[in-house]
Amino acid sequence: MPLGRFTTKEDSEPRLGLIATDRIIPLATVGGPDTLDAVMRVPAAELHRLLGEASESTSDGLPLTDITLLPPIDRQEVWACGVTYRRSRDARMEESTQKDVYDLVYEAERPELFLKATPGRVCGPETAIAIRGDSTWDVPEPELVLVINNRGETIGYTVGNDVSSRSIEGENPLYLPQAKVYSACAALGPWITLTTELADPLALAIQLVIERDGVLHFDGETSTDQISRPLDELVSYLHRFNEFPEGVFLMTGTGIIPPPQFTLEAGDMVSITIDGIGTLRNPVTRLTA
Ligand code: DO4
Ligand code: MG
């Protein structure tokens, strides 16, 4: 059962629960860790045992219709990998004034890793992701996200959207932090699928659907089998000389790039589906000064 973070109409304090077909079992009621911060401090094997026991619970739980799912994050930073798919390298070489850097990093031993978002910049399911008022070319980036505890163990996966300004990054790669990090620049959710429930994270179909005015405007697909580096290599580089006492989320890069004439607009609806995990849906808003 996946792990969801939620509130109810009666209680605005975020809680964690195990999600069954039409209900959620709050972990506090079955003796499990009841915040994501607490989950991140439990060794992976023990966590999976605890959650396995909790999922056997006969508790009725709460109907999913009575809760609001929140982004599955507490105090963790969100990091991201760049140019891990050939498609991402090619698109960036086409748009950038500095084409070589993308080719070089795709081939290099050291991967590109960057800080994508702090928790306050992360949107949950059905809440609006943003495009910047000073950007003219914007895209969603659908990415498999690793959920990594404070020991560096991957405990689960979620769906991520690394919303990005292609015009700002394309002007100069040194503008990457401005292209990537701003208010509501990322989405995570709808929940965390535990590693024990997903056989092979490198064999997952990823689908992106963008609706405009209620009709299909763009769709694309890839598979995590196109990622050019082993996931444990990405995790290992992230943890080199860098500690994550609260655990960390790692977006693993995008393999779906809409055509150059496409840019996100306010009012669009972005849906990202990763097989075995779920669908993350977010409307788009434009930030103005
Ligand atoms: O090199 C810039 C960022 C690349 C990225 O976010 C991706 O490939 O997903
Ligand atoms: Mg990305």
Please write the tens of the pLDDT for every residue from 85-96.
Answer: 999 899 888 888
The answer to whether 85 and 227 have CB atoms below 8 angstroms apart is yes
**79, 83, 84, 110: residue to mutate for ligand 1 pocket, most atoms within 8 A of CB:** 83
Token pair recorded at residue 16:
């964690």
Beta strand 205-212 pairing with 215-223: antiparallel
Q: Average pLDDT of 179-207?
A: 98
SS3 135: coil
Burial class (CB in 10 A: 0-12, 13-18, 19+), 216: exposed
The answer to whether 124 and 187 have CB atoms below 8 angstroms apart is yes
Ligand number, closest to the Cα atom of 161 = 2
Rounded to whole angstroms, the Cα distance separating 42 from 221 reads 35
Rounded to whole angstroms, the Cα distance separating 17 from 66 reads 13
Rounded to whole angstroms, the Cα distance separating 170 from 178 reads 11
Q: Give the other-Cβ count within 10 Å of 174's Cβ.
A: 10
Question: 43-82 pLDDT, tens per residue?
Answer: 999 999 999 888 887 778 999 999 999 999 999 999 999 9
pLDDT score, position 215: 98
pLDDT score, position 130: 98
Q: What type of residue is 126?
A: E
- CA 97 to ligand 2 center in whole angstroms: 19
DSSP for residue 47 = H
Ligand 1 contacts (CB < 6 A) are: 80, 82-83, 88, 92, 112, 141, 162, 176, 253-254
Q: What is the mean pLDDT of the chain?
A: 96
**Residue having the nearest C-alpha atom to atom 9 of ligand 1:** 253
Quick one: residue 257, left, alpha or beta (phi over 0 = left, psi -120 to 50 = alpha)? Answer: beta
Provide the percentage of residues in the chain whose pLDDT is more than 70.
100
- CA 227 to ligand 1 center in whole angstroms: 12
pLDDT score, position 30: 85
- 22, 48, 120, 209, 272 from 279: Cα distances, Å: 16, 23, 21, 10, 5
Whole-model pTM: value is 0.97
Atom of ligand 1 nearest to the CA of 102: 1
| pLDDT above 90 for 168 | yes
pLDDT score, position 60: 80
Question: 116-159 pLDDT, tens per residue?
Answer: 999 999 999 999 999 999 999 999 999 999 999 999 999 999 99
- 35, 95, 129, 133, 175 from 82: Cα distances, Å: 30, 15, 20, 24, 14
pLDDT score, position 31: 83
- Higher pLDDT: 207 or 53? It is 207
The answer to whether 44 and 149 have CB atoms below 8 angstroms apart is yes
Atom of ligand 1 nearest to the CA of 85: 8
Token pair recorded at residue 139:
């895209």
Q: What type of residue is 61?
A: G
Q: Average pLDDT of 192-217?
A: 97
| pLDDT above 90 for 289 | no
